[in-house]
A = this chain, B = another copy of it.
Amino acid sequence: MRDPYHIALIGCGTVGGGVAKLLQEQPERLAARAGRRLVLRRVVVRDLSRPRPGVPRELITTDLRQVLADPEVHVAVELVGGTSWARNAILDLLAAGKDVVTANKALLALHGGEVFDTARRHNRAVAFEASVAGGIPIIAALSQGLAANQITALQGILNGTCNFILTRMSERSASYAEALAEAQQCGFAEADPTLDVDGTDAAHKLAILAQIAFGTTVPFDAIQRRGIAHIDALDIRYAHELGYTIKLLAETWLSDNQLALHVSPVLLRHNAPLAQVRGAYNAIHVFGDIVGDTLYYGRGAGEMPTASAVVADLIDMAVGRAQRTFHTLRLWSDGDTSLRLRPPGTVRSRFYLRMFVEDRPGVLAEVARVLAEHEISIASVIQHEVPDEEEGQRVQLVIMIHTALSGSFRDAVARIDCLPFLSGPSVYYPVAD
């Protein structure tokens, strides 16, 4: 058996604690898979006083320099998160000759080029399976398992918090606030869930997946994103009536050699594979030109699922595979293809549109006229009869639109929202094919 492989943990919160536990409790298992012992050599933390059960006291330090200066450390696992301290730490670790494993999606989405260039300059490698979809080996699937393919499209449920909330709203008719509270009680949502529910977290992950799938660096702000915080239980019910489920999807696809990307609530047919993904699970549906469609499903977050991905990367590094992958693929390199991004208004999509309107003659005709003027064709309409005593009141008008240019559709919606018989702005979501 080869020499032991020495690991430093940078950050020892939920996931770091899981990684430390796995390394300490399963040495024989991991040695068999890596062909050498995986040895935890140092744990860098911010707060020395916090108890770290299972982590030997003498390994813990608050000083990153103890890792930087230790020639025996082969690899550092960055689990601090964020884009300031962690960014500098990773750059210093690479410069000090350490390979890096990270779960830091925000850092890679925003500064992937800098991190990867630094690694290449110092002849080091970076592995990041844990940065997207927790325990699902999606990075390996895209970069190795599907390597024969040109990926043509990818749809992901990449945020377990949002999927948990939407599942509860859909299956138990909970309101958004009730479902969020339950997610927080179950530990599936942070006390401040903003970055989850506004789509930022899913967009970070999408930027990473797009890099691997298309070899192109997407400026993070180019990813259109809408979250779920304003989803109304009413739309979930209407979607259901029409045969659809609403999911927060991160999507990217190629058309005419242009790349489209967005994060948005999307209506999916009930029998679509992603429509069946419930609770805090993640899943990614990947379309390749050779293999057709494949799907990957599992827990997208949490202590042990994420630790599973981190330790898989450590084994890959210890075996020497990760370095070969890193140097062959040259991700986030200057020489990437830089596919052009599709201007958002030129994306073609079907849409769901709901308006709260006065219940009087001519309303539907007027809405239909505005749509027609924008060359948008109506696929179906729902307007439920109201009881006689409520006649003349307001009603919900739901329209499904055939495929249209999203720019034209948004222009039409802006016009419709100015019509005098609408109460408040209309609500719309894309519908997946």
Contacts and interface: CB of A to CB of B under 8 A. Distances in A.
A292 B34 CA distance: 21
Contacts of A146: 137, 308, 312
Contacts of A293: 298-299
A145 B139 CA distance: 9
A325 B315 CA distance: 10
A309 B312 CA distance: 21
Contact of A308 (B26, B148, B299): B148
Contact of A294 (B144, B288, B298, B325): B298
A308 B297 CA distance: 20
A295 interface: yes
Contacts of A288: 135, 308
- From A296, A311, A327, A329, name the one whose CB has the most chain B CB atoms within 10 angstroms: A296
A32 to B, nearest CB: 8
Interface in A146-178: 146-150
Contacts of A319: 324-325, 328
Contact of A22 (B276, B290, B297, B328): B290
Given A290-B307, A305-B292, A321-B321, A137 B145 contact: yes
Contacts of A137: 140-141, 144-146, 294
Contacts of A309: 145, 291
A295 B294 contact: no
| Interface size classification for chain A | 35 or more
A343 interface: no
A11 B4 CA distance: 43
Contacts of A147: 33-34, 311-312, 315-316
B140 A294 contact: no
A135 B294 contact: yes
A82 interface: no
A35 interface: yes
Interface in A297-348: 297-299, 304-305, 307-309, 311-312, 315-316, 319-321, 324-325, 327-329
A30 interface: yes
* 10 closest A-B pairs by CB: A137-B145, A294-B298, A148-B311, A135-B291, A291-B308, A35-B328, A295-B297, A290-B308, A33-B147, A321-B321
21 contacts: A22-B148, A33-B148, A35-B327, A35-B328, A134-B291, A135-B291, A137-B144, A144-B312, A144-B321, A145-B312, A148-B307, A148-B308, A148-B315, A290-B311, A291-B309, A292-B304, A293-B299, A294-B296, A294-B297, A297-B297, A321-B325
